[in-house]
């Protein structure tokens, strides 16, 4: 089992998966895509949990070391049952991505309804109270991530609309987080490669001296369904609509049984990462839409690999 694991640029934690159904204190179907944040020495994970009913919602897990998590006894955010958000969340809320601005944590996530998936933004300061702000896309869009600082005085986001059946990563800008414009295509699928079918933003962009590192997911379609892998690209620091570099190879591909067997087979899917003070990056990812795993690598190695 250990042989293929070491071949990816991201190294799996030997205790994977770190959160499964068994760790959830309430009845549910699966737990998978999740976004991490580190508060002092405390790690929080906002988890996408799929209930037995079939729709998803969010729960919270905490850990002192980033590997051993305790899940809170109740979900922290459920689909709205009334008010202006309810009709677009009837089929659940999915795939949270956290970005901090001065103690305010913005969460971009996907709301699903009969009209299709669309991107919604909420905020929290304490991970107890979550306040919905707005829907920020029309339907047919998901995988929204917010840059961690304004660029040229404006908020910037990445997302993944579908154009002519092609799923590319787009960039958009806003003055108020509510109205968005300046849409441009940024990263498209590459023919013949591991990300030939679809790509989408995964981790909110990480600032480096050489540009914004975007860890994204790429999909290849096969006769038995899609294969989801994790890749990386670098965006220009001042003009993030400019792609500087893109890694030819995936950083992590499904290999282990827990990544290959589950409700959706052959999926590794990240929604967030922590870069530690010593330069180690922890990427938290959902595996096979069924459990949560973590993989690590020196951040600089990933950056160099992307630039190579």
From the CB of 123, what's the least distance to other proteins, in Å? 16
Q: x/- binding map, residues 68-97, to other proteins, per CB under 8 A?
A: -------------------x----------
Contact indicator for 69, 43 with CB cutoff of 8 Å: yes
From the CB of 222, what's the least distance to other proteins, in Å? 23
Give the integer Cα–Cα distance in Å for 47 and 56. 10
Q: Which of 115, 193, 236, 242 binds other proteins (CB under 8 A)?
A: 115
From the CB of 213, what's the least distance to other proteins, in Å? 24
Instruction: List, in sequence order, every residue forming a beta bridge with 105; answer none if it has no partner.
Output: 100, 124
Q: Show contacts with other proteins in window 186-205 (CB under 8 A).
A: 188
Q: Which of 51, 75, 116, 226 binds other proteins (CB under 8 A)?
A: 116
Q: How many residues bind other proteins (CB under 8 A)?
A: 35
Give the integer Cα–Cα distance in Å for 117 and 2. 38
From the CB of 157, what's the least distance to other proteins, in Å? 11
From the CB of 221, what's the least distance to other proteins, in Å? 18
By C-beta, is 144 or 204 nearer to other proteins? 144
By C-beta, is 40 or 181 nearer to other proteins? 181
By C-beta, is 158 or 295 nearer to other proteins? 158
From the CB of 172, what's the least distance to other proteins, in Å? 7
By C-beta, is 183 or 207 nearer to other proteins? 183
From the CB of 118, what's the least distance to other proteins, in Å? 8
Contact indicator for 258, 189 with CB cutoff of 8 Å: no
By C-beta, is 141 or 290 nearer to other proteins? 141
Q: Show contacts with other proteins in window 229-248 (CB under 8 A).
A: none
Give the integer Cα–Cα distance in Å for 260 and 293. 13
Instruction: List, in sequence order, every residue forming a beta bridge with 11; answer none if it has no partner.
Output: 296
From the CB of 113, what's the least distance to other proteins, in Å? 8
Q: Show contacts with other proteins in window 8-67 (CB under 8 A).
A: none
By C-beta, is 18 or 233 nearer to other proteins? 233
Q: Show contacts with other proteins in window 129-188 (CB under 8 A).
A: 134-141, 159, 161-164, 166, 168, 170, 172-175, 178-185, 188
By C-beta, is 138 or 276 nearer to other proteins? 138
- SS3 sequence, the chain? CHHHHCCCCCEECCCCCCECHHHCCCCCCEEEEEEEEEECCEEEEEEEEECCCCCEEEEEEEECCCCCCEECCCCCECCCCCCCCHHHCCCEEEEEEEEEECCEEEEEEEEEECCEEEEEEEEECCCCCCEEEEECCCCCEEEEEECCCCECCEEEEEEEEEECCEECEEEEEECCCCCEEEEEEEECCCCCCCCCCEEEECCCCEEECCEEEEEEEEEEEECCEEEEEEEEEEECCCCCCCEEEECCCCCECCCCHHHHCCCCCCEEEEEEEEECCCCEEEEEEEECCCEEEEEEEEHHHHHHHHHC
| Interface contacts to other proteins, rule CB under 8 A | 87, 114-118, 134-141, 159, 161-164, 166, 168, 170, 172-175, 178-185, 188
């Amino acid at each position: 089992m250990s042989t293929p694991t070491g071949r990816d640029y991201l190294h799996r934690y030997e205790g994977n998966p770190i959160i499964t159904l068994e760790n959830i204190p309430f009845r549910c179907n699966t737990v998978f895509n999740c976004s991490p944040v580190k508060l002092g020495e405390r790690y929080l994970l906002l988890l996408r949990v799929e209930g037995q009913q079939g729709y998803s919602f969010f729960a919270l897990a905490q850990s002192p070391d980033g590997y051993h998590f305790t899940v809170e006894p109740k979900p922290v955010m459920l689909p709205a049952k009334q008010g202006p958000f309810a009709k677009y969340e009837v089929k659940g809320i999915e795939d949270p991505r956290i970005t901090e601005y001065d103690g305010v944590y913005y969460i971009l996530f996907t709301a699903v309804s009969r009209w299709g998936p669309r991107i919604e933004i909420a905020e929290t300061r304490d991970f107890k109270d979550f306040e919905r702000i707005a829907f920020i896309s029309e339907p047919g869009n998901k995988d929204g991530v917010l840059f961690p600082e304004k660029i040229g005085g404006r908020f910037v986001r990445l997302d993944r609309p579908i154009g002519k059946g092609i799923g590319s990563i787009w960039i958009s800008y806003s003055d108020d987080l509510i109205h968005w414009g300046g849409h441009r295509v940024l990263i498209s699928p590459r023919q013949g490669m591991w990300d030939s079918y679809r790509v989408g933003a995964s981790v909110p962009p990480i600032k480096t001296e050489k540009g914004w590192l975007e860890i994204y997911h790429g999909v290849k379609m096969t006769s038995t369904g899609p294969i989801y892998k994790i890749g990386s690209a670098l965006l220009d620091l001042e003009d993030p609509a400019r792609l500087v570099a893109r890694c030819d190879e995936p950083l992590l591909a499904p290999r282990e049984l827990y990544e290959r067997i589950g409700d959706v087979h052959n999926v590794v899917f990240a929604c967030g990462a922590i870069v530690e003070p010593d330069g180690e990056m922890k990427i938290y990812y959902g595996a096979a839409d069924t459990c949560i795993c973590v993989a690590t690598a020196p951040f600089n190695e990933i950056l160099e690999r992307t630039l190579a």
